[in-house]
Structure 1
Amino acid sequence: MGLEADRGEEMSPAALQSPIMKEASSTCTLHFYFNMHGEESELKVLLKKGPRITTLWWLAGNSGDLWQHSNVVIGRVPHDFTLLFEASTNFNKPGHVAVDDIDFTNCSLPAEPQSCSGNTFMCNNSACIDPSHVCDFSDDCGDRSDEIDCEKQGVVERCNFEQGLCSWAHSDVDTPEGDWTRQAGQEGWPRHGPPRDHTDNLATGHYITPGSHLTARGQISEILSKTLLPSFNCTVRFFYFSMSDDSAQLTAKSRTLKSGVDDEMLWIRGSSHSYNWQRAKVTFSSSVISKIAFRYELGDTERGLVALDDISFSRECNFDPENSKLPETLPTSSPHTPPVTTTPMNPCQDNEFFCRRSAGKVCIPVMLQCNYHPDCPEGEDETGCGSCTFENDQCLWSDASDGPAKWQRQKASSNTEPPEDHTIQTGFYMTVNLSQGSTQTEAKLLSPQLKPSSPYCQLLFHFHISAESTGSLRVLMQQAEGGEAILWSRSHNTVSHWALAQMPIGLFQQTYKIWFSSISKATGPISSPGDHVVAVDDISFINCETTYEPPALSSYGCTFEDGLCVWVQGAEDELDWSSGSGPTETPNTGPTADHTTGTGKYLYIESSHPSEKENTAQLKSLLLPPAGENGYCFTFWYHMFGATVGSLKMLLKSADSSNKILVWQQSGSQGDEWLLVQSHVTLQRVHQVILEATVGGEAGDIAIDDISFIHGPCPDSDLCDFEEGSCSWQQEASDDFDWIRKWGSTLNPNTGPESDHTTNTPKGHYYYLPSSMEDQAGQKALMSSPLYSESKGSCLQLWYHMYGKGMGTLNVYQQSLDGKEVLIFSQTGDQGRLWRFAQAELLPRIQPYRIVVEGVKTGPTLEGDMAFDDVHLTDAQCPPHGFCDFESSFCSWSNLGGRVDQGDWLLGAGASPNPNTGPTVDHTTNSSNGHYIYVDSSVGEWGDTSYLVSDVFQPSSRGHCLTFWYHMYGSHIGTLNVYINDRKMHAGGNEEGYLKWTKAGNSGDQWLQDSVYIKHEEAFWFVFVYERGKSIGGDVALDDITIQPSSCYSEPSVFPSNNSNALYAGLAVGLMLLIGITISIFLFMLNRKWKSRNTLTITNNEVPREISMFDMSDHTQHVSKDP
């Protein structure tokens, strides 16, 4: 609904009236959005009860041409009523007023439950309310039964200011003519007070406002209660109104001396931008007589709308019938105690702070107050400055909630949730019960004003979210200029009573506030009050003083032998890192010892129950200084072994940003060994390092150990995974295109990888050559490695991805310093939708050399994106193509990964952790020290599959023989299959291919050999697939796999002995020997021919067509080429 400036008469109001509404509860709240543009626009919300109209909310002026949310507490209305939106604007000027999305919350009267719990008050209408709301001038029952017979309830001191000030009196420390004044809403509004009181919710009702003659900053208006005798856990409840009063302070204090010099701060106003009466309460104890002082101190701007109403004291408050005066000074000491000099007035200068609790006259510079560091002997200069255990009071933390759910100080007991506080187990904490609110109201706990902080400032606190709670907890920052930002949030319950959270605040050069915010996630009414509790305790600030300097970078390292050092658990996640030594609890996963000493400790995540898939655990450093000109090398060791390992990430987070930078990532099983990560960090901002592990399944323990920081770049590595950049690989300038560093999927559909090979995730990096319809056949992109010394490297290994109907050619060259090149690897055409392994022997050299990767295009196409990743230069000889004994790695075999199968093949040694299944020794060495690969049958369900994929083999006229040793022992062995696949089948979605061999069931505790002969007309690869049996006891293992370009020969059969059979046997043996000799001669001649071709020189960077495809089943072919 809207009002336009070109429709109507000048300043003519327009009214929008609601239907007749039934009575409303004391918490009934109206929500709406408004858009008000124009200098002379005005919008009101009015309450109409019969002929009487009361203003509830009012706003005037230009609020910007945007939609803004507002809410107004309607309050208790015991009969029918209507609401009106009244808008006006100057119709001679451009502008409009509009409202939308009107909604109501918490308007129903309390429902009648089946019974009330022992700690609630039962109303006459059988509704149940919190006993702290009895006799507080708010009709919470709905029948006013909680507001009658208050003296019988023990509430004797309360005042609604309808008949006067009751026992409240003016203060001696007021600014002259600064006394609080009793006013009615229709008199005080709009200049001095709100348009209605709280008691009757009417414009004719009364409240009190600060003195109207306050004109200068620092002028004071105070009002004092009746004198209280010594009391324990006395609670003061009151309602306050605060609007457009940012710079002033409204506080409640406990006063024990007439001068007020020793006042104890109980409460300080939070938000000053609410057009509502807000309820507050404070609880305190005093061993001497005291008074409550409400104090208003004017700030830099003119006073806004400020008022108090309906002040009441709980039954625990004992009042002095004589209302005696407070003493001038503190009581003198007894003869049995040393005398303590007390000074009634502040003995320090104006620019000094008086350490009043410290013995003697101690004055410190006022700038040291609230500087995050105690400078007084007793630390009183940091009282009320943010840090708080809540053992004595709230330390100026105050409730600023919009709805009925309020933060309050709670003493721990067996009847509270949680039953212990964090500080001393029997002390106090702050808590909010969200069952007292609605799904749309926010409970806020607001800090006092905080001083400027250092770039390394961090907030620490302990929190609790009950097990069945629908509540969430957030930490937000409110800056002096009005902005706000979410620092931290959590929406799931805490496993233990208390969890620690630590988060960066960073540099602030102006004052600021933070607040804890809790709101229910429930979509409907909350039925169980005790299960929706959120609590906070032990708030502190570290490294926040503006003079703080961080320690040496090396001090942030940790071996985890004696705890977490300066690292902390993340609190936004579901899991914590655990300290471990020896094997983890779950078999077939995790390390068996730490990395540091082999007998020490490490950190790990437990992936089995109660952990769930996708649960995360974070480990965070303290805030670190900018990395500096040369950066620093961050190193750690990790262990990722198991059938269902998730992922491990290294992230960086700046103190001044909520965004995290992914630096390194790994996923899936990496073998039963500790592996090193080195990351060169160059971030020039204050930041922290985060290590985050994610559960992949019940056999997915992930461990870390031995974190260290070293100034400068990391040592050179023989492996480049492109996660942190190009590793000094460079684009060639003489080619047609550049290789592009990429993460995630390439832009063209039906081609390119979806993730990198290193991490097997969309966040990992690789280099790729994109295809387009502007491509021309023969166009190239070249990328060269750093220069290697002639003595370095014997074998080059890399992974490549060539999927797409328009795929070109990938060439790899060894280029000497003088520019001469030798082709050491080449592959052409579609190789399927997966990463492929390639290796090549490096030729002997007398000069430094480079590795050059060349992509050659076939012509215009959108299905020719090729990529490469994980380039590794090793000093060891390349293992024979097609052979793997699994002693050190998977060789060229790989787990399929992705969403195709449900588990991985694992590298194992010795006996399986699962009883009565699997091998006890490998086949290669026949010892428990040798290695094999296996599938863990204790993980997953019946029928789950695990894929193991070979690299690509080119067709051969002789065919290929796959020979392997397998072990299938156990009571629940499933099925082991061998398939061959090619790019046509794979492109059609067939991940397995043609079945060539199968075996099922128990074959005994022994290694068995078998062979499969393949003669395929296209490039192909082998796939081992194991289908899990019914239960545990079905481990299957493989070892010593060989793939050769030949037939599979078997031993001759043994027949019964007779002359003819012997003759036939002799002929057969002779024939076999003759064939063997013939083949040897043929291979010798072929080898001589190959050596002669190896000296062939090719000019103009061209490769002869007849050698553009290489049979990777034979020896790698090398072609030399002049520059």
Structure 2
Amino acid sequence: SGSVVVNSCSSTAEQLCNFVCDCSDCSDENQCGYLRGSAVLGTPFTCDFEDGDCGWQDVSTSTYRWVRGRANLAMWGMGPHSDHTVGTDLGWFLVTMSPPEKTMATAWLRSPEMHEAAATCEISAWYHLSWNCEGTQGLNQTEWPVLRLAVAHKDEVVGLWQSPKRSSEGWHQLVTYPGRITEQFQVIISLTQSPTCGAEVALDDIMFRNCGLPEVGQQVCGAQESHCRRGLCLAQHRFCDGTDDCGDNSDESVAQCKNFTRCSFDHDLCSWEAVAGPAVWSRNTSLNLGTSYGIPTRDHSNNSRAGFFLHVGSGSTAQAGGTAQLSSLTFQATNSCSLMLYCHLHGSATSNLRISYVTNSTKHLMRERTGDLGSCWVRERVDFNVTGPFKVLIEGVAGSRGTVAIDDLILSQGCVKEKDKPLVMLPSQAGASPCAADEVACDSGDCIAAELACDFADTCADGSDEKHCGTTTFESGAGGWHDVSVGRLRWGLQNVTEPDTFLTVFLCPGTFLSLQTGEGQMVGPAKARSPLLGPSGPACTMEMSYRIHSDPQGFLAISVTDHTTGTTQLAWQTQGHGSTAGGHVHVPLGERSRPFQVELLALVDLQGSASVSIDNVTFKQCYLDVVLPTAAELSCNFERDMCGWYQDLSSDFKWVRSTGQGQGSDHTTGSGYFMSVDPSVPWSHGQRAQLLTSRQKPASAPRCLSFWYRLTGPQIGTLTLKLRPERGEEVVLWTLRGTQGSIWHRGWATLPATGQQRYQVVFEVMQDGFLGDVGLDDLMQTAGPCGAELSCSFEAEACGLAATGKGIWQRQSNGTGTTAGPAADHTTGTAAGHYMVVNTGRVSLPAGHTAALTSQPYQPSVPAQCLAFWYQLSSGTPGSLRVFVEQIRVRRKILSVSTMEGSNWHRSQVTVQPDGDWQVVFEAEGAGGEHGYIAVDDLHVSDGTCPEPASCDFEQDTCGWSSPLDPRLHSLAWGWKSGITLAKYPSPEQDHTLGTRNGHYMHFDTSVLGARGTSALLESAPLPAATDSCLRFWYHMDIPEHLSSGELRVTLHSAAGQRTVWSVAGHRSRGWQGAVVPVQSPSEFQISFEITTRRWPMEGTVALDDIMYSSSVGCHFSSESPMKENPSGSFVAEVVLSLLLALVIVALVAAGGWYCLKQRGLASRTEVEGNSPQGFDNITFRD
């Protein structure tokens, strides 16, 4: 943080870090646990950790400590995969590290000293808590890892907030209100892990809002205001309310408040009486009650753990659901009696506090609070206008695992005790409910299970279980919506009868839910929540009419809180426009588990003419089992809509229906719509994006689902097709990981019969990073199973390959397999990847016995097809692998191998010219060895003849050239595309092979090199030892010379190590340039093209095309003299030019002949994409 200026105007120590800018550049508010502002977020008094640690210090006493760090893609799954500020792996945060094993430990973090927090102060931050617990199902609250935020003030550390138990990781927001703090204090954040849990937390975007004291200065007060001693004006109803609003406590002085009666419960219940009943208000302190979630962490009177308050819900006298009553003395009839109190409702969405007055045994409800208001004390005020003697009655009901508490009951001077003591009897408490604790009562008196209420389907015969569940016109009440605001704004019902009033510009006359002035002391948006809802189906939508009149700082929003995962997501938002706006909005909620709540948020300045109102709220198509007209429409080209497909809205990482935005065109028309996922979009928090159907009717027969997909970019993740039955585990039907180029490929999978079970179909993207995108288009469902799969990685299934013979071929991964096999598969290069393997040990496959693996019939669409696959044999005596092409029961052997150099995967390919349907047969024969195995992976059939090994023109596929997927290599992947210009992926406008924009080549955008990866690798399949071989290729560079710290080089990898055989510094080439490189290796090797840079960013592109590897024939050109530059990029023109030159210069005849031979070879390969799937093996291969 050396670049951060601190206290440029030499402010006094008391003026530093007090949330008030005293210096003109506000540098007195830097390095305070926050900076004067976040340039990224545009918010004041914020620490986003992008420019340093803001003064936070690790004060841990063990190896468990806090450091500033970034997401580590090599350690994917351990901690966050992005920061919260910028939403990528390039952003910074604070994170704990080095947790000790199997011991209780705490990592401590402390802020610099801060000064004078106002009563309105709000501290918020975002945290990402990860854990690895032994037997998590049985953990109790004390064993779960807990993140805490506390304030150290004077000689006491007061807890303000602690993390709830959550079932999901991801970024979550913490919000807490420390209250008025005098003099200096520090914020302390800690993470405690139990011996059974290893825990890690990341912390980001710490903000301090409304924490500065009001500015000193003489002001002219309004009619309803009075002066503080410091000169500023304060609303009269804020005097003597138990909170220091002035900042000098002059509004709460003894002289000022002598006529108010205040009970802090520090000594007793004063004149209040706790009524005996099934639940009773108990007087206690935070010190005695402990630190369980939901319990107040301090009282309100003293902001101390030792201060007293009344509570219900956590003591032995409390009973779940029982009503605790607190009664006042009897007061005289009045029109000027008011009660102020501070309430604390936390830990349960169903807790309830009611304030009423009682006359003649009749209860009159004045104010009600329901739900979880957070870990804070919230100010409430009730004015009583009663014509006869009355008592004030305060009732609390604690929901499951929740607590209701009250403190600082303040009665105004208009509350006068009745001297004649007339008898005011409290009404008798309602009898016990006829329903059990986990049931609710219908209006008819019947009982139903609690989870059936508000599930969008009538269970009660009279439909009363869905009566107060959010669908309402507000004419008969709030319809189940309840205000959970803690500040100076609140939601309430408002009746408008005049049809010409400005309120009815967008709403009909009647009753609305409107924004009103609240009694709370905080400054923030008003919030209203629905009851607990769900479960909901994928088509679930909330509709409502709204009206907002506000400046651009005002807003109205809808968010959804999922109590299962503990996540809250913004679903819809509209800003103020300086004028009146509104209309009818449809907000998709999607499929969600129970329970979830919808939240209305609004913030405007009610001092002027601003207002917000909503009306006519409905939930449509939300019942989980609703049958929609489009439910069975799995076939879809996305031109009009999404047919029967829906977003999974439970994640912020989403599929989007779009026309490309620089990613390329759709597959249907070239200018239409398709579904896409882009992990680089800001706020794409989440690792999984799902596109799913509603529940389908049981399927009695298999069907085939075909689709076109695109996986593009150097860091894109995995696309998976799944079947999710109503009961049982989901089944992976098809999956592919890593970039497949900016090209549409066809995939398909058989949807199996599901018996009597309903099911869903899901397309899922799991991201590996933030560079790339995924596209999906032209889905088609047809009757019957799919044919033979032209590309099979065995990640999802065996692709219809059938095993016969003595031994058994099985699909497995090294991590889960029962048979000895390769340590990693070829597709993913990890132990989790799958392959087909057979045990060739003499017990499983005796000498001379065979085990066969036979594909389904391939139906050729062109005269020649290329069959390619990868295989691996164990060391020792593995037996032999023979591969046959079978047609009309006639077999032709194409490979026979019994030994293999090294332990790498090897690639084999053969051109098949069938007369009709054909099959491939893999046959393993035992050799009598003690142990052994033979494995096969990544079977691929493409149209056209096979090129020579390591040779490729990239028109049909990438011929076995691939980029490693292992993030630990810190390497990014090359892309495969045509010359069609894409804004997101800059590259040459023409390939070299065809010289047109439709031709294909490999490319890499060097601007992405940096912290995410310092190199880009493109590797060949393993090649046999070479004594006099030759590598020829064409490359295209567009890198400014002043940024030429990067280079393109060719290296050879073998068991002996790595050797660079050719390199060129970054530059701007005039078109495609050729290179010739002699190749020699005494052992098996791989060829690698690598782009590296010593500094970044390095703007530019590199492309490769027409790689030709010739074994044992040597190079016809000197390696010192690369082939001439080809500015036009036209290979045909080059051949013509060579022939013309041959008439004059005899020495170039040989070169012209070579070009002609190459052109004939290229002509035999198919240029256009057909209906068969294209793609290339994006495979990790390392010595």
The match for 1:555 is 633
Per-residue CA distance 1:80-101 (angstroms, 9 max, x = gap): 9999xxxxxxxxxxxxxxxxxx
Per-residue CA distance 1:723-763 (angstroms, 9 max, x = gap): 3322222333412x5434227697999x8354551x66776
The match for 1:872 is 940
Matched AA of 1:878 = C
**Match of 1:1024, SS?**
strand
Distance 1:797 1:139, change over 3 A: same
Matched AA of 1:554 = A
Give unmatched runs, 5+ long, in structure 1: 1-24, 28-62, 72-77, 84-103, 164-180, 210-215, 318-349, 354-366, 413-419, 438-442, 478-484, 519-534, 1054-1068, 1077-1123
Matched, 1:1024 2:1089: yes
The match for 1:602 is 674
**Match of 2:976, SS?**
strand
- Are 1:444 and 1:516, in contact at CA under 8 Å, matched by a contact in 2? yes
- For 1:132 and 1:70, the matched residues in 2 are separated by 43
Residue identity over aligned pairs, in percent, reads 20
Matched AA of 2:565 = I
CA RMSD of aligned residues (A): 7.5
- Are 2:964 and 2:971, in contact at CA under 8 Å, matched by a contact in 1? no
- Are 2:1037 and 2:1069, in contact at CA under 8 Å, matched by a contact in 1? yes
Per-residue CA distance 1:799-852 (angstroms, 9 max, x = gap): 435487658466242275998865422445565676543213458689975512
Per-residue CA distance 1:905-943 (angstroms, 9 max, x = gap): 333444877999975543333444333333334442599
- For 2:720 and 2:519, the matched residues in 1 are separated by 37
- For 1:431 and 1:693, the matched residues in 2 are separated by 45
- For 2:738 and 2:587, the matched residues in 1 are separated by 30
- Are 2:911 and 2:945, in contact at CA under 8 Å, matched by a contact in 1? yes
**Match of 1:903, SS?**
strand
Alignment of 1:264-663 (within 5 A): 267=368, 269=370, 310=409, 372=456, 384-387=468-471, 395-398=479-482, 409=491, 447-448=530-531, 475-477=561-563, 485-486=564-565, 488-489=567-568, 502=589, 504-505=591-592, 541-545=619-623, 548-551=626-629, 553-555=631-633, 558-562=636-640, 573=651, 575-581=653-659, 584-585=661-662, 590-591=663-664, 593-606=665-678, 616=687, 618-621=689-692, 623-625=694-696, 628-630=699-701, 633-650=704-721
Equivalences, count = 815
- For 2:814 and 2:760, the matched residues in 1 are separated by 24
- Are 1:160 and 1:207, in contact at CA under 8 Å, matched by a contact in 2? no
Structure ranking higher in strand proportion:
2
- Are 2:866 and 2:944, in contact at CA under 8 Å, matched by a contact in 1? no
Matched AA of 1:1012 = V
Matched, 1:813 2:892: no
- Are 2:809 and 2:838, in contact at CA under 8 Å, matched by a contact in 1? yes
Matched AA of 1:814 = F
Determine which of 898, 907, 910 is the counterpart of 2:976. Answer: 907
Per-residue CA distance 1:1023-1054 (angstroms, 9 max, x = gap): 2334459843453433242424423335999x
Per-residue CA distance 1:766-821 (angstroms, 9 max, x = gap): 33457999999969883512453798996563443548765846624227599886
Alignment of 1:624-1023 (within 5 A): 624-625=695-696, 628-630=699-701, 633-650=704-721, 664-681=734-751, 684=757, 687=760, 689-692=762-765, 694=767, 696-698=769-771, 700-707=772-779, 713-735=785-807, 738-742=809-813, 752-754=822-824, 756-757=826-827, 764-768=833-837, 782-788=851-857, 795=865, 797-800=867-870, 802=872, 808=878, 811-814=881-884, 822-827=892-897, 829=899, 835-842=905-912, 850-854=920-924, 859=929, 867-874=935-942, 876-899=944-967, 900=969, 902-910=971-979, 921-941=990-1010, 944-955=1014-1025, 959-968=1028-1037, 971-972=1040-1041, 974-982=1046-1054, 984-985=1055-1056, 990=1058, 993=1059, 995=1061, 997-1000=1062-1065, 1002=1067, 1004-1023=1069-1088
Tell me by how many angstroms 1:283 deviates.
9.9
- Are 1:824 and 1:842, in contact at CA under 8 Å, matched by a contact in 2? no
- For 2:282 and 2:493, the matched residues in 1 are separated by 35
- Are 2:311 and 2:404, in contact at CA under 8 Å, matched by a contact in 1? no
- Are 1:797 and 1:873, in contact at CA under 8 Å, matched by a contact in 2? yes
- Are 2:881 and 2:924, in contact at CA under 8 Å, matched by a contact in 1? yes
- For 2:522 and 2:880, the matched residues in 1 are separated by 67
- Are 2:277 and 2:324, in contact at CA under 8 Å, matched by a contact in 1? no
Tell me by how many angstroms 1:890 deviates.
1.2
Distance 1:249 1:843, change over 3 A: closer
- Are 1:374 and 1:382, in contact at CA under 8 Å, matched by a contact in 2? yes
The match for 1:338 is none
Determine which of 213, 222, 225 is the counterpart of 1:115. Answer: 213
Distance 1:218 1:782, change over 3 A: same
Matched AA of 1:813 = V
Give unmatched runs, 5+ long, in structure 2: 1-117, 121-137, 147-152, 159-175, 185-210, 286-298, 314-320, 416-440, 445-450, 495-502, 547-551, 577-584, 602-612, 1122-1145, 1154-1183
- For 1:806 and 1:895, the matched residues in 2 are separated by 30
- For 1:409 and 1:895, the matched residues in 2 are separated by 56
- Are 1:266 and 1:396, in contact at CA under 8 Å, matched by a contact in 2? no
Matched, 1:1037 2:1123: no
Matched AA of 1:601 = Y
Tell me by how many angstroms 1:596 deviates.
1.8
- Are 1:978 and 1:1024, in contact at CA under 8 Å, matched by a contact in 2? yes
- Are 1:116 and 1:122, in contact at CA under 8 Å, matched by a contact in 2? no
Per-residue CA distance 1:366-418 (angstroms, 9 max, x = gap): x999674799xxx99966323479999864444789xx899953999xxxxxx
Tell me by how many angstroms 1:673 deviates.
1.4
- Are 1:769 and 1:867, in contact at CA under 8 Å, matched by a contact in 2? yes
Per-residue CA distance 1:609-629 (angstroms, 9 max, x = gap): 8579x9757354364236534
- For 2:818 and 2:236, the matched residues in 1 are separated by 64
- For 1:747 and 1:916, the matched residues in 2 are separated by 44
Tell me by how many angstroms 1:183 deviates.
8.5
- For 2:718 and 2:535, the matched residues in 1 are separated by 36
- Are 2:483 and 2:490, in contact at CA under 8 Å, matched by a contact in 1? yes
Tell me by how many angstroms 1:550 deviates.
4.2
**Match of 2:895, SS?**
strand
- For 2:995 and 2:926, the matched residues in 1 are separated by 47
Distance 1:1013 1:494, change over 3 A: farther
- For 1:778 and 1:121, the matched residues in 2 are separated by 101
Matched AA of 1:929 = N
Tell me by how many angstroms 1:868 deviates.
2.5
Per-residue CA distance 1:679-726 (angstroms, 9 max, x = gap): 44457455563533637455x233333345556644543333323322
- For 1:978 and 1:205, the matched residues in 2 are separated by 75
- Are 1:744 and 1:763, in contact at CA under 8 Å, matched by a contact in 2? yes
- Are 1:917 and 1:970, in contact at CA under 8 Å, matched by a contact in 2? no
**Match of 1:895, SS?**
coil
Tell me by how many angstroms 1:567 deviates.
5.2
